Structure 1
Amino acid sequence: MHPVAQSVAHSVAMALPEGTMLFEAAGAFEVFGSDHSDLAAPWYSFTACGPAGSRVGDWLRADTTHGLEAVADARTVIVPAWRDVEQEPPQELLDALRTAHAAGARIASLCTGAFVLAAAGLLDGRRATTHWAHTARLAERYPRVRVDAEVLFTDEGSVLTSAGKAAGMDLCLHIVRTDHGATVANALARHLVTPPHRDGGQAQFIPAPVTHGRDHPLADLLPWVLARIDQPLTVEDMARQAGMSSRNLVRHFHAVTGTAPLRWLLSQRVREAQELLESGDDTVERIAARTGMGTSATLRRHFTRVTGLPPEAYRRTFGGR
């Protein structure tokens, strides 16, 4: 990484091409562009780079004094969310990012800004993430990127990426923590009224998968399974109910849900446990029984693996919604 020198401010450039999303850009500006020298001096020197009058968030016009070429001179470059993941980023921006990276700069993307880094070739062979709604597209479009759909952010040393929206703040605080230490990052988080470090990954925010209406071979089976989620069910039980062989059941499950029957069932048990933790006060043992997990130890193991949080921590975060 790039530890900040005590006598020279670490230069941060934020790229603001046409089509930049507002939320992530504003968060990064608050962290790196505002004066927090009361926490650490010198703080970062911040530059917004982009064509004059570029639209940010579809309505705000950015009054920048530096073009995108100035990105190449920064020690850290922030690439906020890119509005249209199917649109190729400006070549000027891609060239500037490649130049900055080759010169040793740290490049960080927020949300769908990962598509810009991928287009520049900076994510090839690296672990990366983006908003959960776009991780599959990122993996499909850039197969050389090792996409991790579950984490809030990734740190590959000189290249960092974050998941959607608020996860951009998690990454910005991580950068401050890396440069200035945990005490400064924690103090800044208190100033921003945000957690200095959030447990878990973005899996905890992903809604339950939606199947393809009722026009598929499992249309009657899936509701039958969900109505018996507290009961021990096997692939054979589900195949018998669906009137097909176990092999055909597995094939249809992969076609409809993208996963195997028992893996799908486990995900539904975890989703049900999430709802019970959010809305009620049942013990973990009781929730394990109601979701077919059997024991609290089994629930804790699977719940933590899927959401990144143990049940008790999840209830503290989301309980009472």
Structure 2
Amino acid sequence: MAAFALRRLLALLATLAAATLIVFTVMEVLPGDPAQVMLGTEARPDTLAALRDKLGLNQPAPERYVAWVAGLLRGDFGVSYTYSTPVSELLAERLLVSLPLALLALALATAIAIPLGAWAAANRNGAADLSVMTATQVGVATPNFWFAMLLVLLFSITLRWLPAGGFPGWSAGPWPGLRALILPAVALALPQASILARVMRSSLLDTLGEDYVRSARAKGLSEGQALRRHALRNALIPVLTIMGLQFSFLLAGTIIIENVFYLPGLGRLVFQAINQRDLVVVKSVVVVLVASVIVVNFAVDMAYAVVDPRLRRRA
């Protein structure tokens, strides 16, 4: 297990290094003057020169890359040109919204999808299976922002149970903050739950056809007991992969939902930074999102080793 974890950790570090190099190359080395992009074509030459000096653009690219990576390791992401605030403070503030939103959406998607997928697999080709597959097909085909508008129409405008948008901040208390995230989390979770339920059903059906499951049935276990004791755990391996990818998507792909509900999260921050041409913020947010995807994939690999003992034995 230790050797398996060490190999995955080394792969994580190598991927992070490659990711920082790619982001730096795309944002700074490709043709175009970042200072000109940020200030616009009407900027005066002395203003452009001052911003280039502030951003360190007069230094060679290798020196800028090393300095940037060293700053990342220290937690120094630079200073936002638009907000005149350290980017690390902006990221920390916005992560307090986006991270709980992504975790809540993933928890809801998992709580919905795994029981539905298992129920559909246990009743293959029956009415339950047909109902689940129809509902998940609709969920996969429907955009999450449309779900968001329907949820606002029902629970905010008609029933007045939940707020239609905005975020009061965690300083107002856990419940007001959580209450503001419920509708966005449900809007994000429903399409992801549809995908996860279909993967769960397919994986469980494949596992139920294995020899060890048939042997368990031959020894006297009922279909439900064989499913719970033997098939379910092995069927979770591809499901874990999808869950890892979904969390990365939920954290990085919330731009539309956060704008629909006026949530001050990472998605809205990068949207605003792109509109304001604040490349310092854009570069930092992209690095944080890439790092989150890599770390989540590492956690999924570790979960594989817990679920499947064969990986530990191979290691």
Tell me if TM exceeds 0.5.
no
Higher strand share: 1
Q: Could you say which TM-score interval applies, normalised by the shorter chain?
A: under 0.3
TM-score normalised by the chain length of structure 2: 0.24
Q: Which has the higher helix share?
A: 2
The two structures have a TM-score, normalised by structure 1, of 0.23
